[in-house]
Amino acid sequence: MSLFNQFNEVNEAGFWILTAFVLWMVVFATGLINKKHTGYFFPAVTITGCLALIAGILFSGKSTVNILVPLPFFLGEAGFDFTIDPLSKWFLAIIAITGIPITLFAPGYLHHLRNRTFPGFIWAGFSMLLLSMCGVVMSSNAIAFIVFWEMMALSSFSLVASDNEQRETRRASFIYLGATRIGTGFLMAGFLWAHSITGSWSFSAWGITGAAAIGPSILILIGLATKAGCWPFHLWLPIAHPAAPAPVSAIMSGVMIKTAIYTITRLFITGSHIEFKWLGIVLIVFGAISAFWGVIFALLQHDLKRLLAYHSVENIGIILMGLGVSATGAANNIPLLTQMGLAAALFHTLNHAIFKSLLFLGAGVIDARTHLRDIEKMGGLIHKMPWTAAAFTAGSAAICALPPLNGFASEWILYQSFFKLALNGPTAATRLTGVFLMAVLALIGALAIACFVKAVSVAFLGLPRTDNARRAREGTPQMTAAQVFLAVLCVVSGLGVPVLLNPLSQITAMTGTGSMIGNIWTIPVGILTIILLTTVAAIAIWMKKLSMKNPVKSYITWECGFGDLSPKTQYTATSFAQPISSIFGNIYRYALEVTTHGRQSRHFPETVEAETRYEAYLETKLYEPFLNWIKKFSGILLMKLQAGSIHQYLIYMAIALIILIRIGVVK
């Protein structure tokens, strides 16, 4: 087909999606020109872009849309060529519906950074991030994919680095940049390898099977795992996310890391462009470790955003477990299992995008209003910021998979797929894996509950622990609206599972055996929720009635007769997590040291100091020595290579030219 595919041949869906791209490009350009502009121009145009994207998704209906962007937009070996099928649409929808509330939220948040960052610059990066994520999930060839992947990496890097006053933030953004380089490096190597096997850049022309698939698969999976933040490549995630401004953390944690999930699904599962024999077991093992690792490290954190970042590692792990089950089903020819695992993973991807961006926005409101990120310094915020508190609690309940919210819906389908694996797996070992996964997910679920009870109760409940927390106030109405919107989405997507199964079944039908997941959702969640709410309302009214007779008395919290309680006597986040942390203490050498001072220190101490410590072995024993070695080696190498002699440099150029001619790049 000619590259001069005319725009008028592209149908309405393509038109709307290109409109979104153009609008975001406008924001990008004006943002870079007019860096200090703070009005409603940027958010309004960005939101319009998201709405245009939604219109595009709706107009495309069930059809698959192909767009070939005409010359002069061309990438040398391949064009910008887009395929918008149900899988792409699912991810486009995730980008659009989380993009809207985050954009709505951003102006209020950026206001508190007004003296430290350029809002126009952030908007430019943000709109470019949205655009490039859309590009990633639509690209149908490897070159366009890499181009958008790189735009995504660079725009998110510039956003992480935007508030770079603190040294810590600068360090975080360099670590993030390094991680994206490593990830892209592996991914490119994998793509090149796949290209050399198949001779094509287009994903749909790839059909790599057998032993040839092992090499490219491993490289591509490492590249994607780095982006997704899967163990053991997750290290950048809890460093970069807290450093970024809250709306950026929300979009990165909620949506950006999911592009890796998209790519795994696209290349390995729905299209079977690459058939990797051990994909199932690899994804299950690394998913399970990530999920467990993420949640136990989240329990140790006091920095609210870092805690949420570790939960992203956990949820990526949960999603990967679903994809792993799906791949196992495909390898063993159990189509229903393939589809259930895939549906659970993709549904959880949507749900995680909703509640994780909600939670990051909540952390953002607290940060904007109290300048606190350490939950040990918060407390009692529910009285000052009731809307944020309610929305954050709803988001926490959703991430803990409590019914009837959306986290429960996707984790329930995931449990069903594990059960199916345990029931119909071909060997006893596979079936045992299914049981094992159920136990692991139950453990992770309970740990997540512990972690979020800790976060919600220490941050929002009790008494304020510092003056900053005492002076807190609610965010702007737009910030509240954004959070309420996402909280409502948590409920809607939890109750509307049968509706959401329609697009999901279109995706699972892409695995080749027709859709089978139409009736996997058997819980009458609507009726049960109505019954539950009616009971709650009935008991509440009854209690109200009883309190007419015997009114509620307000009194102090019981302090054992010591006099008024200081906020310091409240349970801290560290103490809350201590029992669980010490059970898993061997994983990170957890230590609690209590020292008492003063004469008679045993019975009447003057001061008591308690300190908890932990050491993440993966960082201190593996990555640090490795990076130090690289630094040392490259230092020596650099000194030798860059000696400052022009003759030496000319020789380099000549050698490079000879090599290029020799391998046939320059003709």
Give the H/E segment covering residue 655.
Answer: helix 646-663
Residue 248 to residue 569: CA distance in whole angstroms: 35
Give the one residue of 524, 606, 624, 666 binding other proteins; rule: CB under 8 A.
524
Residue 281 burial (C-beta neighbours within 10 Å; 0-12, 13-18, 19+): middle
CB under 8 A: which stretch of 62-70, 176-184, 561-569, 638-646 binds other proteins?
A: 561-569
CA dist 486 to 58, 216, 384, Å? 20, 39, 21
Report 146-205 residues binding other proteins (CB under 8 A). none
Q: Find the shortest distance in angstroms from Cβ 464 to other proteins.
A: 10
Give the one residue of 33, 71, 531, 608 binding other proteins; rule: CB under 8 A.
531
- Please identify, using beta-carbon distances, which residue of 208 and 343 lies nearer to other proteins: 343
CA atoms within 13 A on the CB side of 17: 31
Based on the shown chain and the rule CB under 8 A, indicate whether residue 548 belongs to the binding site for other proteins: no
- Please identify, using beta-carbon distances, which residue of 502 and 569 lies nearer to other proteins: 569
Q: Find the shortest distance in angstroms from Cβ 583 to other proteins.
A: 6
Give the one residue of 63, 333, 547, 634 binding other proteins; rule: CB under 8 A.
547
Report 351-410 residues binding other proteins (CB under 8 A). 379-380, 382-383, 389, 393, 397, 400-403, 408
Q: Find residue 81's DSSP bridge partners.
A: 68
Residue 407 to residue 452: CA distance in whole angstroms: 14
Q: Find the shortest distance in angstroms from Cβ 391 to other proteins.
A: 14
Q: Which residues contact 342 (CB under 8 A, 6 or more apart)?
A: 265, 269, 270, 322, 323, 326, 507, 508, 511
Give the one residue of 351, 392, 577, 588 binding other proteins; rule: CB under 8 A.
577
CB under 8 A: which stretch of 38-46, 245-253, 334-342, 520-528 binds other proteins?
A: 520-528
CB atoms within 10 A of CB 36: 9
CB under 8 A: which stretch of 28-36, 258-266, 370-378, 573-581 binds other proteins?
A: 573-581
Quick one: which of 543, 507, 425, 495 has its CA closest to 91?
Answer: 507
Q: Find the shortest distance in angstroms from Cβ 383 to other proteins.
A: 6
Q: Find the shortest distance in angstroms from Cβ 609 to other proteins.
A: 18
Give residue for tokens 């649409």.
89
Q: Find the shortest distance in angstroms from Cβ 199 to other proteins.
A: 45
CB 5 within 8 A of CB 68: yes
Give the one residue of 2, 115, 550, 607 binding other proteins; rule: CB under 8 A.
550
Binding footprint of other proteins, residue count (CB under 8 A): 81
Q: Which residues contact 370 (CB under 8 A, 6 or more apart)?
A: 378, 381, 468, 469, 471, 472
CB under 8 A: which stretch of 24-32, 56-64, 575-583, 633-641 binds other proteins?
A: 575-583
Based on the shown chain and the rule CB under 8 A, indicate whether residue 110 belongs to the binding site for other proteins: no
Q: Find the shortest distance in angstroms from Cβ 285 to other proteins.
A: 18
Give the one residue of 552, 639, 646, 665 binding other proteins; rule: CB under 8 A.
552
Based on the shown chain and the rule CB under 8 A, indicate whether residue 528 belongs to the binding site for other proteins: yes
Residue 308 burial (C-beta neighbours within 10 Å; 0-12, 13-18, 19+): buried
- Please identify, using beta-carbon distances, which residue of 19 and 575 lies nearer to other proteins: 575
Report 408-447 residues binding other proteins (CB under 8 A). 408, 411-412, 415-416, 419, 422-423, 425, 428, 431-432, 434-435, 438-443, 445-447
CB under 8 A: which stretch of 137-145, 366-374, 477-485, 532-540 binds other proteins?
A: 532-540
Report 197-256 residues binding other proteins (CB under 8 A). none
Give the one residue of 551, 561, 635, 644 binding other proteins; rule: CB under 8 A.
551
CB under 8 A: which stretch of 133-141, 260-268, 505-513, 578-586 binds other proteins?
A: 578-586
Q: Find the shortest distance in angstroms from Cβ 445 to other proteins.
A: 7
In single-letter form, the type of residue at position 454 comes to K
Residue 511 to residue 330: CA distance in whole angstroms: 9
Residue 451 to residue 448: CA distance in whole angstroms: 5
Give the one residue of 58, 543, 637, 655 binding other proteins; rule: CB under 8 A.
543
User: Where do the H-state alpha helices sit in 301-427?
Assistant: 304-331, 335-370, 381-384, 386-399, 406-424
Report 449-478 residues binding other proteins (CB under 8 A). 449-450, 452-454, 456-458, 461-463
Based on the shown chain and the rule CB under 8 A, indicate whether residue 553 belongs to the binding site for other proteins: yes
Based on the shown chain and the rule CB under 8 A, indicate whether residue 514 belongs to the binding site for other proteins: no
What's the token pair of residue 645?
């002699």
CB under 8 A: which stretch of 34-42, 300-308, 567-575, 618-626 binds other proteins?
A: 567-575
How far separated are the first and last CA of the chain, in Å rounded? 27
Q: Find the shortest distance in angstroms from Cβ 617 to other proteins.
A: 22
Residue 248 to residue 105: CA distance in whole angstroms: 11
Q: Find the shortest distance in angstroms from Cβ 381 to other proteins.
A: 10
Q: Which residues contact 196 (CB under 8 A, 6 or more apart)?
A: none
Residue 111 to residue 247: CA distance in whole angstroms: 12
What's the token pair of residue 295?
């949640």
- Please identify, using beta-carbon distances, which residue of 63 and 566 lies nearer to other proteins: 566
Q: Find the shortest distance in angstroms from Cβ 118 to other proteins.
A: 39
Report 64-93 residues binding other proteins (CB under 8 A). none
Give residue for tokens 């993440």.
616
Give the one residue of 294, 570, 588, 590 binding other proteins; rule: CB under 8 A.
570
Burial 196-221 (b: 16+ CB within 10 A, else e): ebbebbbbeebebeeeebeebbbbbb
Based on the shown chain and the rule CB under 8 A, indicate whether residue 636 belongs to the binding site for other proteins: no
- Please identify, using beta-carbon distances, which residue of 161 and 459 lies nearer to other proteins: 459
Give the one residue of 532, 630, 638, 656 binding other proteins; rule: CB under 8 A.
532
Quick one: which of 53, 43, 36, 127 has its CA closest to 88?
Answer: 53
- Please identify, using beta-carbon distances, which residue of 496 and 567 lies nearer to other proteins: 567
Based on the shown chain and the rule CB under 8 A, indicate whether residue 565 belongs to the binding site for other proteins: yes
Q: Find the shortest distance in angstroms from Cβ 579 to other proteins.
A: 4
Residue 61 to residue 54: CA distance in whole angstroms: 11
CB 137 within 8 A of CB 203: no
What's the token pair of residue 161?
């680095």
Q: Kindly give the interhelix angle for 86-111 and 119-138, rounded to the nearest 10 degrees.
A: 170
CB 219 within 8 A of CB 187: yes
